[in-house]
Structure 1
Amino acid sequence: MRPAIRPATADDLPALVALDELCFGPEAWSTVSWTTEFERLSEDRVILVADEGAAVGYVVLLVPPVTVDVVELLRIAVTPAERRTGIGGQLTTAALARCAGRTVLLEVAAGNQSAGGLYKSFGFQEISRRRGYYAGGEDAVIMRWRESV
């Protein structure tokens, strides 16, 4: 059974903080950062949750007003136990559906081949790198997606 993809609510905050810590370890967002994301949901943030009775994944988008044609995919995560089951693809599909007519940018650690492969499968292309951006000196790969017309 595929999880439901739905907008996050304030009730999801503790689960998303825990999921972020599980997936990103020392690179996880703090509870304060997550609280700020939730405070901005009505302004320019979209958080979608993959729900199987509990949050098993999420995606966070920075969606500026329609006068700006660039959306940033800020964060996407799936619990380790649910990876390679299609949930990351479901979340990406749901996120891109909210970006019609816009360019989407994201960054991914160069060594994260699984995530990089997922993004490439959706048509994201590498456009630049931030050398030594992540802890340990790993590069950040900047990728761009434009909707095919």
Structure 2
Amino acid sequence: MRPAIRPATADDLPAVAALDEVCFGAEAWSTVSWAAEFDRLSEDRLLLVADEGDIVGYVVLLVPPVELDVVELLRIAVAPAGRRTGIGGQLMTAALAGCAGRTVLLEVAAGNESARGLYRAFGFAEISRRRGYYAGGEDAVIMRWREER
């Protein structure tokens, strides 16, 4: 069964925060941070969830209202049991669907080859690095996507 990709609602906050904890551990966003993201859904945030009866994935985008401004892919995660099943691709497809003609930026740990492979498959290209950005000295890779209308 393919999950439904849909906009998040306030009712999804506990499940998204719990999934973030599972996926990111010590690097997970706090419940307060997640509440702030949900509060901004009607302003400049797009939060989509993959729903199979339970939330099995999510993606968060900062989408400024001015079309010339850069969109930022802030976070994407898929539950461990749902990885390599296409859920991440479904989330990326849905997230990028409304970004035609805009530039989308993201950062990812240099050693996160599975995420970098997903991003490359969607046309993201490395444009820069932040040396030693993450704990332990790992580089952050900055990637860009732009699809013309």
TM-score (norm 2): 0.97
Q: Aligned runs of 1:78-97 on 2, under 5 Å?
A: 78-97=78-97
Distance 2:128 2:80 in 1: 28
Equivalent in the alignment of 1:63: 63
Q: Aligned runs of 1:41-80 on 2, under 5 Å?
A: 41-80=41-80
- After superposition, what is the alpha-carbon deviation per residue over 1:51-95, rounded to whole angstroms, capped at 9, x for unaligned? 000100000000001343310000000000100000000000000
CA RMSD of aligned residues (A): 0.9
Paired letter, 1:23:
C
Paired letter, 2:114:
S
- Which range is displaced more, 53-62 or 130-139? 130-139
Q: Count matched residues.
A: 149
Distance 1:38 1:148 in 2: 29
* Secondary structure at 1:11 match in 2: helix
Q: Is the Cα contact below 8 Å between 2:67 and 2:102 reproduced in 1?
A: no
Question: How many percent of aligned residue pairs carry the same amino acid?
Answer: 84
Could you tell me how far 1:148 is from its partner in structure 2? 4.2
Distance 1:32 1:135 in 2: 22
TM-score (norm 1): 0.97
Q: Which runs of 4+ in 1 moved over 2 A?
A: 66-69
Distance 2:59 2:67 in 1: 23
Equivalent in the alignment of 1:121: 121
Which segments of 5 or more consecutive residues in structure 2 lack a partner in the other structure?
Answer: none
Q: Is the Cα contact below 8 Å between 1:69 and 1:101 reproduced in 2?
A: no
Paired letter, 2:22:
L
Distance 2:66 2:54 in 1: 32
Which segments of 5 or more consecutive residues in structure 1 lack a partner in the other structure?
Answer: none
